[in-house]
Structures are given as C-alpha cells and as structure tokens.
Structure 1
Amino acid sequence: MPHASAGPAGRAWLLRLVIAFGFAQGAVSMARPAVSYRALSLGADERAVGVIAGVYALLPLFAAVPLGRRTDHGRCAPLLPFGVVLISGGCALSGAAGSLAAMAAWSGVMGLGHLCFVIGAQSIVARQSAPDEQDRNFGHFTIGASLGQLVGPIAAGALIGADMGRTSALALLVSAAVGAVSLASLWRIEHVRPARSVESAERVPVLGILRARGVPGGIFVSLAVLSATDILTAYLPVVGEHRGIAPATVGLLLSLRAASTIACRLVMTPMIRLLGRTALLTGTCLLGGLLCAGMALPVPLWGLALMFAALGFCLGAGQPLSMTTVVQAAPDGARSTALALRLTGNRLGQVAAPASAGLIAGVAGVAAPFVMLGGLLFLAATLAVRSPRP
C-alpha cells in the first residue's frame, strides 16, 4: 500500500473524512444508549441489555477480514457510503422494532455498517498519509469519532423522557437521519490507490500478519480501550437507573468523556514528543484501568463526573496509537487486512465484553463490570510496554 502526503488537495480530504466520521459516529453513539433504554422499556434485564450490546459486534466479527482483504487489493471509498446506509437503516429499524430479538438483529446491522465505514476510512488515512504523518492524521481522524461520541449521547438524553418506549424510538429515528448527513462529505475523498504490484501480489496469510511484532499488542490495546468505551456507553444507563441518575445526566456524563478524549487527541503530537509512544500508551492504559475500577464505588455524581473526564482523556490515546502501531508493524500489501484484524479484535471484545459484563452484573451487581474493565486495561498496559519502539 503506497503512502502519500497531503498532495495538491492539501488535507481537505482528511477534514471531510473527520466530518463524515463525526456524523456517522454521532448516529451510532446516539443509538447505542437509546437501544439500551428501548430494550429496558420492552422488559429487558441487565443480561438482555448485555446480549443486545454484544450482537452489535457479532456480524462485524465475521466480516472484518474479508473486507480488509478486499480493501488491500482495491478501492477504500465505496465502503463508506455502504456503511452509512447500514448504520442509518439499523438505527431506524431498531426504533420500529417491537421485540428484543428484532432489536438485537438490527443492532447487528448497525454494527456491520459501522465496521464497513471504519475499515474504509482507516485504510484511506493509512494509504494517504506518509509514515511520519500517521500518528497525527490518525489522531485527527479519531477526533471525528470523539465528536460523535460527544454530541450523540447528549442528543439521546435530551430526547429520551419519562415515556421511555416512545422517546427512545424517536431518538433512534433521529439518529438514522444524523447518520445520513455524513454522505454529503464523502465525494472524491480517495486520491491514492494501490499500485498494480500490490493488486497482483500474493496475499499475506493472516497468521503471518499476526506474527509481526507489534500487531498482536496493538490489537489487544485497541480491544481493551474500545471495550471500555463500549461498556461505559451501554451500561451507564443501567447504572443510572439503579442510582437514580436521569437519562439527560447520563448523556452529559458520556459526552464529558468524549470531550476529554477530543482534548487528548488534540495534544497527541506534543505528548508523543514529550513521553514517547510506548510510555504514553502504557501510562494511559494503567490510569484508565484504575479509573474504571473506581467507578464500581458509590461515588457522588460530581466525583463520577471528574472520573469520566479523566477516563476520557486516558482512553483517547489508545485508538490512534494502536492504529499507527498496527499499520507500521504489518507487512507491505496487508495493512488494510491488519487494520481489519484490529477491528476484528475490537468486535470480539464488543461481543465478549458486554456478554461477560451482563453475566457479572447479574451475579455481582451492575457496578461489577467496571472492575472487569479495569483488569482488561491493566493487561493492555503490560502488552503496551512490550510493543516495538518506532
């Protein structure tokens, strides 16, 4: 996969990609808590909410590597509008669903759409960024996700009221419209295509990619960070119900985490210069693990807000740095597949972590999954220490 710097079009393509990602992620981040509230209105318990959250990642778990293979040997851009259509369709149909099984199915469609968009978008960033630009460009790219995670939960919290069934359905329909807006930013976004030598090259086996030093560690760090973000989004409404926290306040807490993540990514480049990639990744995973575990304690609302702000900053480093780690460690001609394997790990975490969280919550209480997340981030920190230095 060839690399290119900004080129004659400057970095306008990256700005438009960030905008599109912001709307697509905003739709998903608005829909995820709305799905949890709608499931609760249909009679779901903690275990059922965990299963529905896990199904969101189930279809992508099997589709990621084939999509990555296709992207390594072809264009990236077509995946983006296709993903948006699936996201918006999944949101709208979740709002119309009248059973938990239907909600789970449409959540899976939403997850597949998100996967298509992210594989295409990450591959464009990797392909159109010079190696020394990747930390910066991946950091800026993921600001789009953080913007969506900032606005989405606030919008969901503002729409969901006392009539949880009706208002959560409305929030899901609005999220479908938000996702569709991203289509306006996706024109002529891909400028660098794979060279003929890459298109005709023999495919690198999956095991060969996974044996490359740095790839497994980058995949696990990404899995742990995304699992933490995902369970916070899916389970904070349940915790809020138990602690008497209103849906609007839950939305503000989730958006506070996203705002802190944006702040982290805006100062990513100077932090890497000051600390180095390995130290930054290790330190943020360790502190994030402590904060996640601390959320199991019955802290007051102001303390929970401070913890969410600090946790958001810590979680902000994991995704862009793991992208760069995987892209630079992967063999030539297999970088999109390596990114897809990273996303497969993410989706595996999104299947296993919510289901495990649901079981743990059912046995030990709704706060127990946060302790599980703390352990996952501690393990990620140990693997980050061993990652290769750039």
Structure 2
Amino acid sequence: MLIASAVLCQIALNLARPLISYKVLALGGDSVAVGLTSASFALVPVAIALWLGRMSDRRTSMKGITLAGALLLAAGPFLLSTAPSLLLVGVASAVLGIGHLCFTIAGQSAIARFVPLSRMDAAFGWFTAAFSLGQLVGPLVAGLAMGSAGNVPAAARLMDANAALILAGAIAVLAIPVTLGASVKERASARETSGAAPAKAPASKPVAHLLGIPTVKTNMIASLALLATTDIIVAFLPLLGEETGIAPIGIGVLLAIRAAASITSRLLLPVMLSRWSRTGLITASLVGAGITLAILPWLFGNPVVAAVLLAIVGFFLGLGQPITMTLITQAVPPDARGAALALRLLGNRLGQVALPIGAGLLAAPAGPGGALWMSSAVLCAASIRWPKRS
C-alpha cells in the first residue's frame, strides 16, 4: 500500500512540476523566475525537515504523516491551477514541497524501522523506484496535456497548464484512500528483525553528532547532488526545449525516458550490489551522470541522441539515492534513523533551494544549457569528496 500510494503521489507531483515551468513562462517569467520557483519547492520544507524526522522517531505509526503528505500533494496542484501571479505560483510550489517532504520522511522512516538491514537496499530500491515511476508517467501526461505545438500564444499555454494541473490534483486525491490503507504500526516482531527502537520516545541526537559521523556527511553530499540535479533537469529541460524547438510532448517523452532508466537501475540494485561495493556504485552514479549531463546541451537538438543521453543520466541518477539511504541508516543508532534520514532530506532541500537559483542565474546569460553544466560540475565535485572506502 505504501508503494501504491507513492506511485500515485509521485505521478501527481511530477505531472505538476514541469507544468510550473510552462506556467511561469506563460505568466511572463524568465529562466531566473523558473529557478526561484523551483527553489520555493524546497525552501519552506528546510525549516521543518528535522522536526518531522524526530517526530517520526517518536511515533509508533507513520499513517498521520503519510496522510498529511498526500493531502498537501493534492492541494498543491489545485492552488497552482488558480494562481494568477508568479508570487502565488511560488507559494503553491512550496505547498507541493511540504507535501513531498512529509510523504518521503514517513515512507523512509517506516522502511528504516521495520525492514531488516539485510533487505534494506532492496526495500529502498523499490520505494525510490515508485518515485521514478511517477517521474516517468507524470511528465508524459504533462507533455500530452500541453500538446505538440512548440510555440503557442501565452494565453493558450496558460489554459492548457491550468487544466493539466487540475488533473494532477485529481490523481493525488486518488492516493488519499490508498494512503489510509498504508498504516504502518510498530510491532514487537518488526523491532526484533530490524533493530528498531522501542515505543518510548528516544533521546534526540544533536545535529552536530549526526553530522560528525563521516558516512552521514558524505552521503548527504552525494544525495544532495543527485536530487538537485534531477530537479534542475525537470525545471530547465522545458526551457531547453523551447530554445531548440522541441515541443512539450517531446520534453515529456525525454523526461519519461530518464525516469524509466532510473527505475531500471533501482530494480537492478540487488544484482549490482552482489558484484560491486556501495561506495563504488555511488561514485559511478555521480561521475557517470556528471559527464553525460555535460554533453547533453551540445547534442540536445537531435532527439534520438538526447534520448540516449538522458537514459544514461537517468540510470546513474537513480542508482545512488537508495544506497545513500541504506548507508545513513546503518551508520546511526536505531533510535536516530528517522532524524538521520530527515537530515539527509534537509541537505537535499538546501541543494534544491541553492542550486536551482544558481542554475537560473547562470541560465540567464548562458542559456538553459548553463544550468545543466552547473549540475554536471556539482556531481563531479561530490564524487571527489567521496571517501575510497565506506
């Protein structure tokens, strides 16, 4: 039930997010406005991420937090569809971000608490694969909704975006009853298999203590780079398509190809871990995605080549995220797993705030390709900081 609700919520979220870029353009915004709006998705969640993580450590059920996430993910697209200004688009984007944070923390905490460590890579792989499935279906639906015309009047583009955002909200509403069935309660047998904390409220580990654990720091950096890059691709690929004459439906297909490749790598994760180390796979994830992404803007005008490159980028981007979750979970005491995973998400959100803003500022003089080159540099820098052994 958790995976099913994740699929529906992520379809809604990833249907809405590319539409935000088109709506910003239709309202007269530029690449800087797209970057700021993308950053607003992460800005408010930064303030509550650790609080939510500690709450998840204290609660015996993740149902309430998961349901709150689904409700906010349903409200966000409806607010976006009625937003008449760039400011309100940014506010609605922040609502989407809070909903995504609630749902993600609840799901990750449930897995960290109840799944045995020996099966945690596979469990996180399935959970993140559900997210990738949403990233596959959502942009495809967004592209179909926006049509095949590359240059249409702003009023028509705005009307199409608003209609598709209402559809995104309706899909998220469908996830609410599924989420209600995904109640995860603490059981003695689960504690025995996963080493989870007892039902009594645990003593909170200070943030400095968690950051003092080398594995937590290095995995936060890797996760930040990978997730922020995914966000930048979603936000700036529509702009690159506008520049090169690729219609919204083509951008939707390309984003879906990237997501399909991420699903593949996440489902193959147990097989790859039987041959290579976690550290080696994360390094490959960062370097492989970084190098391929640097090439993409130069060859984006050829849709077939762009599809191949985005498939490679997607495979590498999908590979690292579930491994970072496992390594952070294993590196901290059982009663701090929720807080540690929330700290990882906090790092992700900080990256999602700073990097899209930087990408938007860089894209103003250098074009949308500049945003992708910046992401490439961040990925490669994160791989250099990675220790040789985990």
TM-score, structure 2 as length reference: 0.93
Match of 2:314 among 302, 312, 315: 312
SS in structure 2 of the partner of residue 333 of structure 1: helix
**% identical equivalent positions:** 38
Map of 2:14 onto structure 1:
29
CA distance in 1, matches of 2:385, 2:276: 17
Match of 1:91 among 77, 90, 101: 77
Match of 2:368 among 366, 372, 384: 366
Map of 1:180 onto structure 2:
173
Instruction: Quote the offset at 1:295 in angstroms.
Output: 1.6
CA contact (8 A) 1:288 1:311 kept: yes
Match for 1:40: what amino acid?
L
Map of 1:301 onto structure 2:
303
Answer with 247-256 or 323-332: which moved more. Answer: 323-332
Match of 2:26 among 41, 44, 56: 41
Deviations 1:217-260 (A, max 9, x none): 11111111101110000100011000000000000000000001
Unaligned runs of 5+ in 2: none
CA contact (8 A) 2:22 2:157 kept: yes
Instruction: Quote the offset at 1:188 in angstroms.
Output: 4.6
Match for 1:241: what amino acid?
E
Map of 1:192 onto structure 2:
186
Deviations 1:313-340 (A, max 9, x none): 1111111001001111123311100000
Instruction: Quote the offset at 1:364 in angstroms.
Output: 1.8
CA distance in 1, matches of 2:143, 2:297: 22
Change (3 A) 1:201 1:243: same
Deviations 1:4-28 (A, max 9, x none): xxxxxxxxxxxx2111111111111
Match of 1:168 among 161, 165, 173: 161
CA contact (8 A) 2:41 2:94 kept: yes
Map of 1:227 onto structure 2:
228
Map of 1:352 onto structure 2:
354
Map of 1:8 onto structure 2:
none
SS in structure 2 of the partner of residue 297 of structure 1: helix
Match for 1:183: what amino acid?
I
Match of 1:326 among 325, 328, 333: 328
CA distance in 2, matches of 1:196, 1:277: 26
CA contact (8 A) 1:52 1:103 kept: yes
Map of 1:77 onto structure 2:
63
Map of 1:150 onto structure 2:
136
CA distance in 1, matches of 2:28, 2:345: 32
CA distance in 2, matches of 1:240, 1:339: 35
CA contact (8 A) 1:77 1:124 kept: no
Match for 1:21: what amino acid?
A
CA distance in 2, matches of 1:355, 1:257: 23
Alignment partner of 1:133 is 2:119: yes
Alignment of 1:118-129 (within 5 A): 118-129=104-115
Unaligned runs of 5+ in 1: 1-15
Change (3 A) 1:107 1:200: closer
CA distance in 1, matches of 2:95, 2:387: 36
CA contact (8 A) 1:209 1:331 kept: no
Instruction: Quote the offset at 1:118 in angstroms.
Output: 0.4
Answer with 196-205 or 291-300: which moved more. Answer: 196-205
Answer with 115-124 or 290-299: which moved more. Answer: 290-299
Deviations 1:168-191 (A, max 9, x none): 001111001111212232215303
SS in structure 1 of the partner of residue 322 of structure 2: helix
Answer with 195-204 or 23-32: which moved more. Answer: 195-204
CA contact (8 A) 1:72 1:199 kept: no
Alignment partner of 1:381 is 2:383: yes
Aligned residues: 373
Change (3 A) 1:144 1:175: same
CA distance in 2, matches of 1:222, 1:235: 20
Calculate the aligned-residue CA RMSD, in Å. Answer: 1.4
Match for 2:207: what amino acid?
V
CA distance in 2, matches of 1:61, 1:23: 24
CA contact (8 A) 2:266 2:319 kept: yes
Instruction: Quote the offset at 1:77 in angstroms.
Output: 2.0
Structure 1 residue runs of 4 or more that deviate by more than 4 Å after TM superposition:
193-198
